[in-house]
Amino acid sequence: MSSEPGPMEKLKATAFRKDRLLREGTWVVAFLADWCPFCRRFLPPFSALSGEKGFRTAIGDVTSEESPLWEDFQIEVVPTLVVFREGRPVFRADGVLGSGLPPEVLEKARVAAVTAKT
């Protein structure tokens, strides 16, 4: 997203293999599209997670409707939030058509990311 602050990584389809993230550790990934007004609204509270310890945050870029991430993750509405541990999804919150994701879902994702550690 063009309005993202700081060094948050923007992941393209090459960072994934089907429904797996090709990164080690625990990651909270928000699948967002530049054209989505609900994604733009969700980005500031999501960006606030980037300073938390125990996990990293990134944006899964689905701006292009041709991105294979739509199908690989069966995304129907953005934003969609997924917590990955060692590449595997351990938590997911799907956006709701017409409203996106409420900011409260970030606390659930944070808890899932922290408790995903062994």
110: in domain: yes
Specify the pTM: 0.90
Helical H segments across the chain, by residue range: 37-47, 69-72, 105-115
Residue whose structure tokens are 């409707």 = 65
- Model pLDDT, residue 2: 42
Strand partners, 13: none
Classify residue 82 by its DSSP letter: E
Structural domain count of the chain = 1
Domain containing 91 equals: 9-115
Q: Is the peptide bond before 5 cis (omega within 30 degrees of 0)?
A: no
32: domain CATH number is 3.40.30.10
Phi, psi of 90 (to 5 degrees): -120, -10
pLDDT at residue 10 in the model: 93
Is residue 22's pLDDT more than 70? yes
89's tokens: 């999804």
Residue 57: strand, helix, or coil: strand
Percent of the chain with pLDDT over 90: 80
The 10s digit of each residue's pLDDT in 101-117 is 998 899 999 999 998 65
Band of the pLDDT at 82, cuts 50, 70, 90? very high
34 located within any domain: yes
Query: Residue 3 domain-assigned?
Result: no
- Asked if residue 4 is part of any domain, the answer here is no
Q: What is the spatial distance between Cα 42 and Cα 105, in angstroms, rounded to a whole number? A: 10
pLDDT for residue 28: 96
54 occurs within a structural domain: yes
Tell me whether residue 2 is in a domain. Answer: no
